[in-house]
């Protein structure tokens, strides 16, 4: 016949817990976004900061 009321109640509690976790994740995501907006941007690309513009010296194996 019918289901016991506990199954429906447990399912609802599980859904409420899932929604609360989703809200918490969204709140943390918003905090991270706001924090990253407040941080100053670096002046250059860290991958190429070591490169010096202009002519480069020859490696030792090519010098006489």
Q: What secondary structure does DSSP assign to 28-54, as a single string?
A: HHHHHHHHHHHSPPPSS-TTTTTPPSS
Instruction: Output the pTM of the full model.
Output: 0.51
Question: pLDDT digit string (tens) for 27-36?
Answer: 999 999 998 8
Residue 42 has pLDDT above 80, yes or no: no
> ∠47-37-40 over CA atoms, to 5°?
50
Instruction: Please state the φ and ψ torsions of residue 26, each to the nearest 5 degrees.
Output: -65, -40
């Amino acid at each position: 016949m019918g289901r016991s009321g506990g199954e429906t109640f447990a399912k609802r509690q599980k859904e409420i817990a899932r929604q609360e976790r989703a809200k918490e994740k969204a709140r943390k995501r918003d905090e991270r976004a706001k924090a990253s907006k407040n941080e100053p941007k670096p002046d250059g690309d860290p991958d190429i900061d070591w490169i010096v513009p202009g002519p480069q010296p020859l490696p030792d194996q090519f010098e006489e």
